[in-house]
Structure 1
Amino acid sequence: MASTFNKLKLSETDIITKFILPAINKAGWDDMLQIRQEVKLRDGKVIVRGQAAARKKVKSADIVLYHKPSMPLAVVEAKANKHEVGKGMQQGMEYAELLEVPFVFASNGDGFIFRDLTNPTQLESEIRLEDFPSPEELWHKYCVWKGYKEEHLPIITQDYYDDGSGKSPRYYQLQAINKTVEAVAAGQNRILLVMATGTGKTYTAFQIIWRLWKAKAKKRILFLADRNILVDQTKTNDFQPFGSAMTKITGRTVDPAYEVHLALYQALTGPEEAQKAYKQVDPDFFDLIIIDECHRGSASEDSAWREILEYFNSATQVGLTATPKETDEVSNIEYFGDPVYTYSLKEGIEDGFLAPYKVVRVDIDVDLQGWRPTKGQIDKHGEVIEDRIYNQKDFDRTMVIDERTELVAQTITNYLKRTDPMAKTIVFCNDIDHAERMRRALVNLNPEQVQKNDKYVMKITGDDEIGKAQLDNFINPKKKYPVIATTSELMTTGVDAKTCKLVVLDQSIQSMTKFKQIIGRGTRIDDRYGKLWFTILDFKKATELFADERFDGTPERVKVTTPEDFEDEEVLNDIVAGVDDHGLDSPFGDENIDLGSIQEPEHSYSNNSSDTGSTGSDDWDDENKVRKYYVNGVSVKALAERIQYYDSDGKLVTESFKDYTRKTTVKQFSSLDEFIKRWNDSERKQAIIDELAEAGVLWDALEDEVGKDMDPFDMICHVVYDQPALTRKERAENVKKRNYFTKYGVTAQAVLNNLLDKYADTGVQEIENMQVLKVHPFSDIGSLSEIVKKGFGGKNEYLEAIQDLESAIYQSA
């Protein structure tokens, strides 16, 4: 006898397997190469409150259709048959926007609503299952929509590298790769990619080179960087598949036998003609040059390194940066043109690919109030101290107060002891001298840790070979030591420290470029090692730059007026002062400007510098010398400590977790009555608990702030709606007083009594989990199946009893 088929009762998964996929396959789409199911485009934003963090759950695209693995074409979004055929369209449009594809299909198994951006006269139409378009039809429409020319297709359609591990470019990396390859195919010779630190610029560069190299569009490639660690990391990690076709240029020799060359600027050029190794080959030798961290000088017209790019002028040149530099001296956009693709820090955090941050701002009394020496006071070295008021910009630059250094080191130590003493930490200091004094202070404050391993604290600066040798260990998640690195400039960029959990700012920072790079040291996520977020401990008000509209925005060309344009000296002085006061990029590069004195950089990117830059003395010589005074015996204390969180709109907000919970919950439930009704109507209270957790309510953090013995229900009633809170124990006692259990048999009464005790101890989540019946004291009564069947008459009856118990628990509500 034939059974009756009811399509309305089929799940969404059944609709996909029984109707949607057969229709797509019948149209000629290849299951293995062109169809992917459950495509997760985002990782889920990390929500941080207190010391707790959780990821928001993200949905996956049901189906993505590809021309080839490197080229997505369409999104298909399915819903169960009980929904209208186009129910999934808006969800599908969201995925299509991320992938930048023009086609979206929504279906409930009866047919498709087809959204086609290539057809402006009818954007959406309904088609039958059997009329699903073929791969050739969509590809042709796509090529016309993109404006591809036939002669460009072999380059554009070249696959990316696939090692068989399942790793593929993230959606934004694929966008960056495809847009660059398209630009090259179209004949564009200067290309700029802007991608936030930690989003995989080097992996993206590798895939760009691989596709152009495999398509034979570019045969000889040069990857340029200005630090040895960047070249070595690239060669060993992302570029490893190039194998024997790749070489690192050393000894000032360019070997034409290789096709992929990795090089430091410093290995290719120098002030002497004999050092200009790039001239060993013809100007047309390289046809593709990738410039890593291109904001750091190569695009500057007067840079000694610009000569390399100009010599190979005929090559396609691709600049990679997280922070495009736009000043009167250097313009990435002027040299490379507008970015073909930009992926910002804010986008990375929203997608869950980058770590959010919380800021702990510590204000020190002498910083804010200033310090003035007594008349004729001499410093530790017998120097008479110039009589003036010294403030935050002076400290550790022209004035060193030992007690201030001690206070900063003590604050860092206290924070680590309170959270995780083994959390990788970078302390950014004003100069090398400051980094050494900070190292010493931290060593003295952490004797137990230093006795376990003398590399607990290390100074890692350009002048220190021992410290530099520990850089690889610091950035390696598998190596415990060093834990704390004090530095000045060496670690501001290009250091891939995935597990860095604390970034300390005791350095005056006016350059937005430099600030972004320093923040980028903490933005990487490493789930394996529990690194989902990081803390910025700020002693110098540097994090005020977060409020600057340029922090995560698109750079604009900055025009700085020259003195010749002004006759009014006052106006000119205001402009010059504005460079210091308003954080404009310094014409001296990434270094800070102090009117009246200029600090010598730790790295001077000169022709004869090493891969980490040359290092001079801490003070300037002769008449340009910046005098530094050293004093002690000064009373120094912290005035205030303020904690700020990265909020959903990308801003830093100062609030307690109770305030955050209040705002979050009111968005979900507008009134106390609505919340209570939803709670009481819900078959499983865990569903509401999970719903609030997904919105960012972290129960562990809330318990730490409010109290651990409250039920989630009472926690919300109390924190959000100002109701008096009952503890779980009080609610359990109220149920027992009402002789609630007398309507059940002996076995059921014993079980429910024990469940009520479990609720009092751990919460409602425990009694909703049937697996609790497998443990003591329930196991003394019988097995799970015996308890359910003999005590209650079956599973449905048991679940009804649990709902009744929950109703009794929340009866007062």
Structure 2
Amino acid sequence: MNKNNLSERDICSKFISPALDKSGWDLQWQVREEFPITNGRIIVRGKLHTRAKNKRADYVLFYKSNIPIAVIEAKDNRHSVGDGMQQALLYADMLQVPFVFSSNGDAFLFHNKLAKEGNLETELGLDQFPSPETLWNLWKEAQGFNTSQEEIVTQDYYSDGSNKTPRYYQILAINKTIEAIAKGQKRLLLVMATGTGKTYTAFQIIWRLWKSKTKKRILFLADRNILVDQTMTNDFKPFGSAMTKIQKRQANKSYEIYLSLYQAVTGNEEEQNIYKQFSPDFFDLIVVDECHRGSAAEDSNWRAILEYFSSATQIGLTATPKETKDVSNIHYFGEPVYTYSLRQGIEDGFLAPYKVIRIDLDKDLSGWRPEKGMLDRYGNEIEDKVYKQNDFDKKIILDKRTELVAAKISEFLKSNDRFQKTIVFCENIDHAERMRQALANENSDLVKQNSKYVMRITGDSEEGKEELDNFIFPESKYPVIATTSKLMTTGVDAQTCKLIVLDQNIQSMTEFKQIIGRGTRIHEDFDKYYFTIMDFKRATELFADPDFDGDPVMIYEPNPGEPVTPPETFEDDAEEGSPGTAEGFSGLDENEKNSGEPKSGEDETFPGGDPRRSKVLKYYVDSVEVRVASERVQYFDANGKLVTESLKDYTRKTVTKEYSTLDEFRKHWNATERKHAILEELSNQGVFLEALAEDVGKDVDPFDLICHVVWDKRPLTRKERAERVKKTNYFEKYGEAARKVLDALLEKYADSGVVQIEETQILTINPFPQFGTPMEIIQEFGGIQKYNEAITSLENALYLETA
């Protein structure tokens, strides 16, 4: 057998897999071929998107089916044994595995990350591949696991018999948590971006600890009724009859898996603290969902639950750890055992990227000062001062500003899809109601068809809260637009939300991350691959803050002499009630209403009362014009930064990265038999030629389009290129029948481009059937090889020169 003639897959099936089988690896459970690591980043430009190529390892080897321990990168035999090592090391770093192999079918190059200095890489024969026990013992020794710890970390995942397995970052999060608990760590923090499957990850952690009998009674705490109910019916369903939800006044101790609202087990009165009906050592494990919320503060009623069960291992889950001078997740739970960030999720293609439309309004930039003695629409004299952006919709209302924002939102929807789910974040409930009215007026045609087209979903509106599930549910058409303040900041799994509007001054990084998280889920069935952020109050400047997607850093400053008393209503809970007050997502039960957590301040509709009857805290002005000062679109680039970049700029940068000069590009274009391959590769990198062609002319050849945009060459239309070929003696070497076919192909090229004439299927459509069947036509050229040579020759003639 000549190995040089074998493909890479042949090398895998004939040499690498047999070597693994011979050394004791179970090819069904322990060996995963073509293991997908990432999904391929989604690249967005304009209204178009594409996916970059995903990262996929040729082999990932698992010990006991749940612990990735080795990566193998295969190459065909025309490569050396070690040619795949650098690629394998990249994958190994992502999977954080210690053993790395490369092979071309002759031998293995073994890179041992655990090896002592000087013995890092060695070559092994095909019959020398290490057994699972050999690699596991090396890894176990490096980790320092004893026998009981080994039993914990090797417990299998839950499997329903399908091929569904955790994603690579979920595997890391689960295994690192299990390993830390096996080594005796009592407080753990797990940081995973919204939309990356925190609850599923938590389930697998709990399942493995429960099945190994490491933890026998487990409590899962959340602060939203809907979060508990969804968890029980979805991810936690396999626990079955071993699981219960703690209801008001219930303390049934016959279950093993307990789920509860904080509000269900706490209250203002001692007898309402149901959790004390359990002994302090009843639970072995407590998992705290959204731990950045109520339990983050030391003097919170909810923190008392964690302190009461202090003997239990406690895991905090959050996308956004809260780290201020007064409140700290890290101070309580410790440094994160694992972090999977929004930026990494977007880079891997598991989260939706975003583009930002930044709209600055003239009064926001320059401020506004009333004329002396000016009255608002209720007859109140407006205080003489310069009102700035932070004052609008709080201290002073400019009606025409609200109307302009609503008009720009509606303009965007009308130019894209008027039924894409949209959340508008406003300053307060009053602002959210006025925005609802303005949007209803801007979209009166659709509101007439269904009044729920736009709704205010805030903590004080029972009608709005009742529609929240419909807003979230992908199959529900209405509501389409939700105006809100704080209610939808967190805990809202809006899978199909494509537009997030920021008309709110956001100072909290935690709150900002939570709001952005409302759009990060991908839902391919509903064509949701990316989302748009429309920013009216410069909130997206927080993207430039190093803290936006960096590792959380503790800045907590406890003062033993003078204890800090953080406010019970935190910045991400203000104005619409803290967790547990009358803002619950699925209808509040008595447990939620009696949470013991303080409610927010005064009525936001008219803080301090109706301005027409009491001291004026807000002025309502309907006569001041507001205009758009500037508007620009920004994209999320490969380095995780927002850049203001046109499609032309992006195309220029992307193409010149691959082809530094026009001559280099032209040579590559002419040397490539199928031009479609080049165009497809550029498309995969986000170069959308159809969108570019709208600026230049739809009949422009892709080659000319690229040369024009990137190197400023005058473009030729396809018709001009076709006419040039007709004027040459190109056809003379062919017979009459073949010349007619080539002439028709030129016409097809002029109509629809080079990609179409490269496909033999074109011979099945008019006018080609009048020349014979596809097979008869091809025979006129002397067979398929000669026909393909004729197409290549025709393309060479088309691109012989450029303008």
TM-score class normalised by the smaller sequence: over 0.9
- Does the 8 Å contact 2:361/2:627 carry over to 1? yes
Q: In the alignment, which of 758, 764, 768 is matched to residue 768 of structure 1?
A: 758
Q: In the alignment, which of 8, 13, 22 is matched to residue 9 of structure 2?
A: 13
Q: In the alignment, which of 70, 74, 77 is matched to residue 74 of structure 1?
A: 70
Q: In the alignment, which of 238, 246, 249 is matched to residue 249 of structure 1?
A: 246
Deviation at 1:600, TM superposition (A): 5.8
Which secondary structure state, in structure 2, belongs to the residue aligned with residue 486 of structure 1? strand
User: Any residues of structure 2 matched to 1:114-513 within 5 Å, and which?
Assistant: 114-120=110-116, 121-513=118-510
Structure 1 residues 589 and 780: alpha-carbon distance in aligned structure 2, compared to 1, 3 A threshold: farther
Q: In the alignment, which of 703, 706, 724 is matched to residue 713 of structure 1?
A: 703
Return the TM-score normalized by structure 2: 0.94
Deviation at 1:746, TM superposition (A): 2.1
Range moving further from structure 2, 410-419 or 477-486? 477-486
Q: In the alignment, which of 721, 737, 746 is matched to residue 731 of structure 1?
A: 721
Question: Where has structure 1 moved over 4 Å in runs of 4 or more?
Answer: 559-562, 586-590, 606-616, 619-626
Structure 1: stretches of 5+ with no match in the other structure = 566-585, 593-598
Q: Distance in 2 between matches of 1:228 and 1:444?
A: 34
For residues 41-84 of structure 1, give each alpha carbon's deviation from its aligned partner in whole angstroms, at most 9, with x where no partner exists.
10000110001000001242111111122111111111111111
- Residue of structure 2 in register with 1:604 after alignment: 578
Q: Distance in 1 between matches of 2:582 and 2:746?
A: 76
For residues 211-254 of structure 1, give each alpha carbon's deviation from its aligned partner in whole angstroms, at most 9, with x where no partner exists.
11111111111111111121122122111111121122222312
Range moving further from structure 2, 749-758 or 647-656? 749-758
- Residue of structure 1 in register with 2:660 after alignment: 670
Q: Distance in 1 between matches of 2:25 and 2:195?
A: 36
Q: In the alignment, which of 17, 27, 31 is matched to residue 31 of structure 1?
A: 27
Q: What letter corresponds to residue 427 of structure 1 in structure 2?
A: V
- Does the 8 Å contact 2:73/2:103 carry over to 1? yes
Which secondary structure state, in structure 2, belongs to the residue aligned with residue 552 of structure 1? coil
Deviation at 1:607, TM superposition (A): 8.0
Structure 1 residues 493 and 799: alpha-carbon distance in aligned structure 2, compared to 1, 3 A threshold: same
Q: What letter corresponds to residue 508 of structure 1 in structure 2?
A: N
Structure 1 residues 252 and 472: alpha-carbon distance in aligned structure 2, compared to 1, 3 A threshold: same
- Does the 8 Å contact 2:420/2:497 carry over to 1? yes
User: Any residues of structure 2 matched to 1:772-811 within 5 Å, and which?
Assistant: 772-789=762-779, 791-811=780-800
Deviation at 1:556, TM superposition (A): 1.8
Deviation at 1:465, TM superposition (A): 1.5
Structure 2: stretches of 5+ with no match in the other structure = none
Q: Distance in 1 between matches of 2:498 and 2:361?
A: 23
Q: What letter corresponds to residue 804 of structure 1 in structure 2?
A: S
Deviation at 1:419, TM superposition (A): 0.9
Deviation at 1:381, TM superposition (A): 2.4
Q: Distance in 1 between matches of 2:755 and 2:278?
A: 71
Matched, 1:557 2:547: no
For residues 325-355 of structure 1, give each alpha carbon's deviation from its aligned partner in whole angstroms, at most 9, with x where no partner exists.
1111111111001000011111111100111
Matched, 1:749 2:729: no
Which secondary structure state, in structure 2, belongs to the residue aligned with residue 76 of structure 1? strand
For residues 734-767 of structure 1, give each alpha carbon's deviation from its aligned partner in whole angstroms, at most 9, with x where no partner exists.
1112242222112211221121112112211111
Q: Distance in 1 between matches of 2:478 and 2:582?
A: 32
Matched, 1:520 2:517: yes
Deviation at 1:189, TM superposition (A): 0.7
- Residue of structure 1 in register with 2:603 after alignment: 617
For residues 665-719 of structure 1, give each alpha carbon's deviation from its aligned partner in whole angstroms, at most 9, with x where no partner exists.
1110011111111111111111221222233312233223443222221111111
- Residue of structure 2 in register with 1:574 after alignment: none
Deviation at 1:476, TM superposition (A): 1.3
- Residue of structure 1 in register with 2:571 after alignment: 591
Q: Distance in 2 between matches of 1:69 and 1:631?
A: 66
- Does the 8 Å contact 2:570/2:578 carry over to 1? no
For residues 354-380 of structure 1, give each alpha carbon's deviation from its aligned partner in whole angstroms, at most 9, with x where no partner exists.
111111011111111212222222222
Deviation at 1:135, TM superposition (A): 1.3
Which secondary structure state, in structure 1, belongs to the residue aligned with residue 336 of structure 2? coil
Q: Distance in 2 between matches of 1:154 and 1:482?
A: 50
- Residue of structure 2 in register with 1:633 after alignment: 623
- Residue of structure 2 in register with 1:661 after alignment: 651
- Does the 8 Å contact 1:270/1:608 carry over to 2? no
For residues 291-332 of structure 1, give each alpha carbon's deviation from its aligned partner in whole angstroms, at most 9, with x where no partner exists.
111111202111111101011111110001111111111111
- Residue of structure 1 in register with 2:46 after alignment: 50
Structure 1 residues 100 and 776: alpha-carbon distance in aligned structure 2, compared to 1, 3 A threshold: same
- Does the 8 Å contact 1:429/1:506 carry over to 2? yes
Which secondary structure state, in structure 1, belongs to the residue aligned with residue 296 of structure 2? coil
Q: Distance in 2 between matches of 1:773 and 1:142?
A: 60
Range moving further from structure 2, 474-483 or 318-327? 474-483
The root-mean-square deviation of aligned C-alpha atoms, in Å, is: 2.1
Range moving further from structure 2, 608-617 or 30-39? 608-617
Q: What letter corresponds to residue 603 of structure 2 in structure 1?
A: S
Matched, 1:532 2:506: no
- Residue of structure 2 in register with 1:812 after alignment: 801
For residues 546-571 of structure 1, give each alpha carbon's deviation from its aligned partner in whole angstroms, at most 9, with x where no partner exists.
11111111122225799x99xxxxxx
Return the TM-score normalized by structure 1: 0.93
- Residue of structure 2 in register with 1:578 after alignment: none
Which secondary structure state, in structure 1, belongs to the residue aligned with residue 651 of structure 2? helix
Q: Distance in 1 between matches of 2:207 and 2:126?
A: 39
Q: Distance in 2 between matches of 1:207 and 1:326?
A: 27
Q: What letter corresponds to residue 717 of structure 2 in structure 1?
A: T
Structure 1 residues 625 and 556: alpha-carbon distance in aligned structure 2, compared to 1, 3 A threshold: farther
For residues 95-153 of structure 1, give each alpha carbon's deviation from its aligned partner in whole angstroms, at most 9, with x where no partner exists.
11111111111111111111111222311111110111111111111211222221111
Deviation at 1:588, TM superposition (A): 7.4
Q: What letter corresponds to residue 9 of structure 1 in structure 2?
A: N
- Does the 8 Å contact 2:501/2:533 carry over to 1? yes
Q: What letter corresponds to residue 327 of structure 2 in structure 1?
A: V
- Residue of structure 2 in register with 1:681 after alignment: 671
Q: Distance in 1 between matches of 2:395 and 2:773?
A: 76
Q: Distance in 1 between matches of 2:668 and 2:156?
A: 51
Which secondary structure state, in structure 1, belongs to the residue aligned with residue 553 of structure 2? coil
Deviation at 1:650, TM superposition (A): 0.6
Identity rate of aligned residues, in percent?
A: 61
Q: Distance in 2 between matches of 1:696 and 1:368?
A: 34
- Does the 8 Å contact 1:297/1:330 carry over to 2? no
Q: Distance in 2 between matches of 1:600 and 1:626?
A: 22
Q: Distance in 1 between matches of 2:54 and 2:721?
A: 35
Q: Distance in 1 between matches of 2:249 and 2:354?
A: 43
Which secondary structure state, in structure 1, belongs to the residue aligned with residue 325 of structure 2? coil
